[in-house]
Structure 1
Amino acid sequence: MNERGRNENTKDKGDETEAKIIRELISCGYSVSVPFEDNDKYDIIMDDGGELYRIQRKMRWTNKENTMQFNTHSQTTKAGKYHEDTYHGEVNAFLVRYPENEKIYWIGIDDATEQKMELRFDAELNHPSINWAEEYEFSGEIP
């Protein structure tokens, strides 16, 4: 339950994530639009005054220490059949909220994997395949 005594579900958490991301983008000076329907691959349109960016917002989960993960594919059921689709060609970036530190991470679609992506905060070794969370922290500037 949240502080208001309501049970939170994934829709509530997603709405909270979207609201916090929109607030952050607006506070950084961007114009933000939200699609009228829920059927688009993107959740937010961000305008920097010159370009429009299609953003898919994500909430993370933690599956191991010092790491966050998020899906980089969509899961739907159409006509009784399960489908998984990537966002490549459909969005420009993922904006991921990490509630534990209240930071937002910008992952460009070209950096994203096709299923799940893992960002690490710390590791015992520095391996080239590690995606370091600090490198994706959204500072207000589009990478």
Structure 2
Amino acid sequence: MDEKLSPKARGELTEAIVLAKLIELGYGVSMPFGDNRRYDMIVDDGHRLHRVQVKTARDGRNPGTIEFSTASHHPLSGKRTKYHGQIEAFVAFHPGTGDFYWVPVEDTSGNYLILRTAPTKNNQVNGVRQAGPYRLRPAEVPEPRA
């Protein structure tokens, strides 16, 4: 993804990429009118609707990790606002790897989330959030009734 893009343009491009991937995987997707909701899309997995915030993931500070913001930043006040109670999940896209992650909002607590994509040097597993379980998978859409 072009580093010269403004944050808004980068976010819009990520939303378009995520939208296409969700449709490819069999999800139904609705987009809210306007830009004033805390969610970017409503995703239908065939069983329920999820308010989703789309994020662009980046390489983490430590090798073998990726991270993305789990709070919005208000430039005038400097205040960060979490999404709990306003969305059900984040869908993060990492442009460098092309990977997509579905992360329930209740699995987040701070202002950003770090997912491990490769083993730690010392093989530590306790307290490490592995990326694998969060990879976006095809929707389990029920078959239509005849």
Q: TM-score band (shorter)?
A: 0.7 to 0.9
Aligned to 1:75: 73
Once structures 1 and 2 are overlaid, which stretch shifts more, 24-33 or 88-97? 24-33
Aligned to 1:49: 46
Identify which of 51, 58, 63 aligns with 1:61: 58
Aligned to 1:11: 8
> TM-score w.r.t. structure 1 length?
0.86
CA distance in structure 1 between the aligned counterparts of 2:36 and 2:94, rounded to whole angstroms: 25
Q: Which runs of 5+ in 1 are unaligned?
A: none
Letter in 2 for 1:36: F
Identify which of 25, 28, 37 aligns with 1:28: 25
CA positional deviation for 1:84:
1.4
Give RMSD over aligned pairs: 2.0
CA positional deviation for 1:76:
1.4
8 Å CA contact 2:11, 2:55 repeated in 1? yes
CA distance in structure 1 between the aligned counterparts of 2:89 and 2:62, rounded to whole angstroms: 24
Letter in 2 for 1:37: G
CA positional deviation for 1:64:
2.6
Structure 1 residue 130 corresponds to structure 2 residue 128 = yes
CA positional deviation for 1:139:
1.5
CA distance in structure 2 between the aligned counterparts of 1:107 and 1:49, rounded to whole angstroms: 18
% of aligned pairs identical?
A: 32
Q: Deviations over 1:68-96 (max 9, x none)?
A: 1111111114xx53321111111000000
Q: Deviations over 1:15-40 (max 9, x none)?
A: 11111111111112221111112121
Task: Tell me the number of residue pairs that the alignment of Structure 1 and Structure 2 aligns.
Answer: 137
Letter in 2 for 1:130: V
8 Å CA contact 2:46, 2:139 repeated in 1? no
Letter in 1 for 2:65: T
8 Å CA contact 2:39, 2:51 repeated in 1? yes
